[in-house]
Amino acid sequence: MSFGKRLGELVDRFGPFCPGIDPHAALLKSWGLADDVAGLRVFAQICVEAFGGQVAIVKPQSAFFERFGSAGIAVLEDVLAGLREAGTLSLLDVKRGDIGSTMGGYADAYLSDASPLRADAITVSPYLGFGSVQPALDLAADTGRGVFVLALTSNPEAAHVQQATYDGRAVAADVIDRVGRLNASADRFGDVGMVVGATTGKQLADLGLTGALADAKAPLLAPGVGAQGATFDDVRRGFGPAASLVLPASSREVLAAGPDVADLRKAARAGNEAAR
């Protein structure tokens, strides 16, 4: 089954909310854990127990595992395996972006059936040119996985690239159109998603992009709900006709409920109820 169809079935079952797994130093400390590999492993095990089989999709942030070197990557492999075993989709936030064989190497690392780091989907950056992510798109299509392309992010410094005008239109608009063409045959969720910040509603309106987002049939990862200031109402209003495609994502807010597994599950359920 394609990634988009699997996602649709799980969203119907659990809801569209996407909790994150972001083991940064301050969060480990707040859970009473040391900022080392042992603390990371305990944190990761709790998150997998709390979210696995309870939500449609979970977004581990690779950077917070990579900072511990190979031992941290080993923990990330266990997280991805645990989510697979629980039947929960993993969206690994790696934001890889490169060209040619190097991008192919990244694709092999995260999207190949043979890789211990394989996820159900990854984030990629198209801002070396949309064609630069083609190796990831090709391998994801071959293995039934997904790719989420950065489109319009909420960090202020992104505007001079993503909202720059090229050939008479915003660069982000071109990204959205290209994703839409890739998803043309999808019924609901295509296999190629996009990352659109939850706080970007005004930019979407100013650039006239809400209609194009809806037409692209892309699952829309919308980070920024909660600690970054966006609300579920902001998403509903800001994304307009594309709101039904949104996967609202939150890391710090939902993880603040830990380390108790039951409390984390309660926070994830609350996220899904609000998202619905």
- pLDDT tens, position by position, 128-157: 999 999 999 999 999 999 999 999 998 989
**Is it the case that residue 239 has pLDDT exceeding 90?**
yes
> Between these two residues, 123 and 166, which has the higher pLDDT value?
123
Least Cα distance to 222 among 112, 77, 57 occurs for 57
Assessment of whether the complete model's pTM goes beyond 0.75? yes
User: Average pLDDT of the chain?
Assistant: 96
pLDDT at 228: 67
**Is it the case that residue 229 has pLDDT exceeding 80?**
no
Does residue 110 lie within any of the structural domains? yes
| Gap between the Cα atoms of 86 and 223, Å rounded | 23
pLDDT category at 226 given cuts 50, 70, 90 is confident
Does residue 276 lie within any of the structural domains? no
Q: Which residues are catalytic?
A: 95
**Is it the case that residue 9 has pLDDT exceeding 70?**
yes
The stretch 250-271 carries a mean pLDDT of: 96
**Is it the case that residue 88 has pLDDT exceeding 80?**
yes
pLDDT at 224: 86
pLDDT at 106: 98
How many other β-carbons are positioned within 10 Å of the β-carbon of residue 129?
10
Does residue 226 lie within any of the structural domains? yes
Torsion 46-89-214-140 (CA) sign: positive
Residue 16: CATH number of its domain: 3.20.20.70
Contact 49, 9 (CB under 8 A): no
The stretch 212-235 carries a mean pLDDT of: 88
pLDDT at 232: 86
The stretch 32-52 carries a mean pLDDT of: 98
- The rounded radius of gyration (Å) of the Cα atoms in the chain is 18
Does residue 8 lie within any of the structural domains? yes
Contact 6, 260 (CB under 8 A): no
If one counts the domains in the chain, the total is 1
Burial class (CB in 10 A: 0-12, 13-18, 19+), 229: exposed
The stretch 159-188 carries a mean pLDDT of: 95
pLDDT at 227: 66
Does residue 142 lie within any of the structural domains? yes
pLDDT category at 260 given cuts 50, 70, 90 is very high
The stretch 234-251 carries a mean pLDDT of: 93
pLDDT category at 233 given cuts 50, 70, 90 is confident
pLDDT at 70: 98
The stretch 209-232 carries a mean pLDDT of: 90
Residues in a beta bridge with 193: 148
| Gap between the Cα atoms of 32 and 28, Å rounded | 6
Domain containing residue 40? 3-271
The stretch 202-219 carries a mean pLDDT of: 95
The stretch 248-271 carries a mean pLDDT of: 96
